[in-house]
A and B are shown apart, each in its own frame.
Chain A
Amino acid sequence: AQKITQTQPGMFVQEKEAVTLDCTYDTSDQSYGLFWYKQPSSGEMIFLIYQGSYDEQNATEGRYSLNFQKARKSANLVISASQLGDSAMYFCAMTEPRAGGTSYGKLTFGQGTILTVHP
């Protein structure tokens, strides 16, 4: 079974600095997708960024970038120029490997990292 590991229960960063949130995954499949979601204290799930296993370039979305190291099975989220509004729980997630060419899009989530941005 596939597994997502986020080893940092909590992280602190100073406003305007960059921060890296770690994510490692375990799968034997070659085709998969990796996602990062943000969950603020209000509870909603907000999609941040996606990386496909065959994507050659690291994904970027505004201040978010994904440091994808396939051989190490890691997909770390980098947030540049942190803002107070970035304080939230962050989840790394992975799609189920394809079975017979069909993936049903089911997500497996890590346990999350709570990020606190200090002014």
Chain B
Amino acid sequence: NAGVTQTPKFRILKIGQSMTLQCAQDMNHNYMYWYRQDPGMGLKLIYYSVGAGITDKGEVPNGYNVSRSTTEDFPLRLELAAPSQTSVYFCASSYTSGGFNEQFFGPGTRLTVL
């Protein structure tokens, strides 16, 4: 199993540009999450999904959109990039949501907006 994969690893955007961060998992997990990690800080939840076609906002959703058309893929869309979106983005997935629900994280995407 590849686990959780994310592309790209690094990206530099200009203010106002858009991009999609890709996330895929091959563990047949229903639950998927997007977090962002600002320098020296903990992770904050952007969006999450409990299954194909079902998504909801997390703590910091402004400036982002998601979709979940398949169990495997959970892309994160940035529209009109701003310097405040400079961060490391992690995608994660888990099999269950209750009890011991270890979240498996992807390697992260480091995004810089200039």
Residues of A within 8 A of B (CB): 4, 33, 35, 43-45, 47, 50, 52, 91, 93, 95, 98, 102-112
**Interface residue ranges, B against A (CB under 8 Å):** 31, 33, 35, 40-45, 48, 50, 56, 58-59, 88, 90, 92, 94, 96-105, 107-108, 110
Number of A-B contacts (CB under 8 A): 69
Which residues of the other chain, A, contact B108 by a CB distance below 8 angstroms? Answer: 43-44
List of B residues within 8 angstroms of A35 by Cβ:
102
- Cα–Cα, bound, A33→B100 (Å): 7
Is chain A's interface secondary structure helix, strand, loop, or mixed overall? strand
Chain B: minimal CB distance from A57 (Å): 14
A47, A52, A91, A105: which contacts B31 (Cβ < 8 A)? A105
Identity of the chain A residue whose Cβ is nearest the Cβ of B49 in the assembled complex: A104
Q: B33, B92, B97, B107: which contacts A103 (Cβ < 8 A)?
A: B97
Contact of A45 among B40, B90, B98, B110 (CB under 8 A): B90
Q: Which residue of A lies closest to B30 (CB)?
A: A105
Q: Is the CB of B45 within 8 A of A50?
A: no
Whether B103 contacts A105 by the Cβ 8 Å rule is yes
Q: With a CB–CB cut-off of 8 A, which chain B residues contact A104?
A: 31, 48, 50, 56, 97
**Residues of A contacting B35 with CB < 8 Å?**
107, 109
Does B103 contact A47, Cβ atoms closer than 8 Å? Answer: yes
Looking at the assembled complex, report how far the CB atom of B9 sits from the nearest CB atom of chain A, in whole angstroms.
Answer: 10
- With known contacts A44-B108, A52-B99, A105–B94 Cβ distance under 8 A: yes
CA distance A109 to B97 in the complex (A): 16
Contacts of A111 in B (CB 8 A): 40-42
B88 near A43 (CB under 8 angstroms)? yes
Distance from B102 Cβ to chain A, minimum over Cβ atoms (Å)? 5
Give the chain A neighbours of B58 by CB distance below 8 A. Answer: 106
